[in-house]
Structure 1
């Protein structure tokens, strides 16, 4: 199996890709830069979250520059509504053609920016207060069945060093529900007494997640038999998961590894690292776990985010009832 550890991470690009035509020294640009510094220093946003804000606000600044708006006070509610329409308009109509989810995130970024402007006294009134994002379709997380997870893990097995590492990686992702960015950021010291792993989530918030016996055994095999071999070829990285040359695995590397394993497992559906996170949460809920416990394990700031998995469980129960009960259908 080819190792993908040498693929660079997408988020290793420059902090911000400036768009052509955007004036760098306008009062609006300076205010946006102050807001981004505030997000970094005072709110402690992760690099991924910060880059999402940067992309959204770069588009906003580009849009306003095209209308000769160069200061926060010059922005009107009409500008804000036109910006949302521009994001959603097809490219054939000179829009960006963004999906509702991407547009919703941009609206959230812009509203947050204007609240900052108001709190800092840069504007008298928040003109985005009534700005609404497009309604998102109700989409349930796509989870593997328990049997499909087992097939995936079996396909990752083997005695080759990369196979031992890959099995440990997949066992950990499924055992903890960690985001891919969290998994590749784990250090060896984050595995605590083999029983728990310390996960650093969004905003650098830490949570302690237990490891099941299968994940413990797979990690122990990797740490004893493989990681020292990989580490000897690198520069002494503390990261838990390394490539064959000793460099930390990137998110892209893990995605490619998982795709190859899913192909070998002959799974007839798309599988990504986030699929294992959804599967982790769904299987916990189906097993009777309390939603607050699942919230803590996933690192969700709000229980409302976790409650979507209760809907998944209800749908599974409804389907089982409909196919099993003799009086379920007329």
Structure 2
């Protein structure tokens, strides 16, 4: 567990606690059938998506592999448990222009509108957004310096639409130093989980069938930037990627965009 973040360790603990609450056996007595029953419980009773169930499976696989390596158990019950087949491309698909407009229609306040517009026009990571203070914003250039992975600073920008929504939101809120603050005293910065819940509520109101989450907004930003003609190196810098290959995963080219580029340059 060395090198893992506090959040990752917390998630591991929660998943293992959930498993223990359903499979109330001594660790040496747990069988493959017990684990299959638990996976069924996650799908049928908790109604988790395949991607979430796979996260539980991965956690259990790591846990039982460690028990096996330490000779705490004689037989690893996870050896016969296969991973789920997940359509990664579908899960990673960015919001289409129509879906983004629907999401905007699902907003009920300037705070929600500002959150959606800032995320989709800046490409910020969740932890970066929650760490921004209002006094860090350069309104004239519509930019802000954020602290990214590896404690590396970079400048990100936001759209005119995001600026207008932010101005409206900030003018009517009660207080707080954070760009996105909670509604209750002492008006502390919204937690990452609070931002996730806010986006999920907006998506549900908008009638989105899939879960709306911060990383999806970042993915949508990258794809929109690529379709708009932005150089991949510039997108890489704005996203804070050290490897351009990672940027190519985020920036997805639609077939219609490929044809448009061909017609423009070749035909």
Pairwise TM-score range, normalised by the shorter structure? 0.5 to 0.7
Q: Confirm or deny that 1:242 pairs with 2:187.
A: no
Which residue of the partner structure matches residue 102 of structure 1? 52
Using the alignment, how far apart are the partners of 2:129 and 2:114 within structure 1? 11
Aligned residues: 251
Tell me if structure 2 keeps the 8 A contact 1:190–1:199. no
Q: Counterpart in 2 of 1:44? A: 5
Query: Structure 1, residues 155-184: CA drift from partner, whole Å, max 9, x if none?
Result: 979xxxx63x44433321112233556534
After superposition, the Cα gap between the structure-2 partners of 1:98 and 1:154, relative to the gap in structure 1 and judged at 3 Å, is closer
Unaligned runs of 5+ in 1: 1-34, 232-236, 325-330
The structure that has the greater radius of gyration is: 1
Counterpart-to-counterpart distance in 1, 2:106 and 2:81: 48
| Compared CA separation, residues 129 and 61, structure 1 to 2 (3 A) | same
Residues 218-248 of structure 1 show CA distances to partners (whole Å, capped at 9, x for unaligned) of 377358x627x621xxxxx442213555534
SS in 2 for 1:208: strand
TM-score (norm 1): 0.53
Displacement of 1:211 in angstroms is: 0.7
Q: Paired residue for 1:196, among 144, 147, 152? A: 144
The question of whether the paired residues in 1 share the 8 Å contact of 2:19 and 2:38 is answered with no
Residue 208 of structure 1: which of 148, 154, 169 is its match?
A: 154
Q: Distance in 2 between matches of 1:213 and 1:135?
A: 38
- Any conservation in 1 of the 2:155–2:238 contact (CA below 8 Å)? yes
Which residue pairs with 2:217 in the alignment?
A: 276
Q: What secondary structure does 1:281 align onto? A: helix
Quickly say closer, same or farther: Cα 1:87–1:270, change in 2 above 3 A: closer
1:186 CA displacement? 3.3
Instruction: Give the SS at the match of 1:54.
Output: helix
Aligned counterparts of 2:87 and 2:65: Cα–Cα separation in 1: 27
**TM-score, length of structure 2 as denominator length:** 0.63
CA offset at residue 105 of structure 1? Answer: 0.5
Q: Write the distance in 2 (CA, Å) between the matches of 1:63 and 1:303.
A: 43
Partner of 2:117: 171
Once the two structures are superposed, residues 103-144 of structure 1 have per-residue CA deviations (whole angstroms, 9 ceiling, x without a partner) of: 21012212333455577x465999457853111134253433
Which residue does the alignment assign to 2:171?
A: 226
Preserved CA contact (<8 Å) 1:153 1:167: yes
Is the contact made by 1:87 and 1:98 (CA closer than 8 Å) also made in structure 2?
A: no
Check conservation: 1:88, 1:95, Cα contact below 8 A. no
C-alpha distance in 1 between matches for 2:210 and 2:119? 16
CA distance in 2, matches of 1:122, 1:155: 53
Gaps of 5+ in 2: none
The verdict on how the C-alpha distance between 1:255 and 1:98 changes in structure 2, with shifts beyond 3 A counting, is closer
Aligned residues of 1:195 and 1:216 also touching (Cα < 8 A): no
Tell me what 1:58 maps to: 17
CA contact (8 A) 1:176 1:211 kept: yes
- Secondary structure class of the residue paired with 1:183: helix
For 1:9-24, list aligned pairs within 5 A: none
C-alpha change, 1:208 and 1:146, in structure 2 (3 Å) is farther
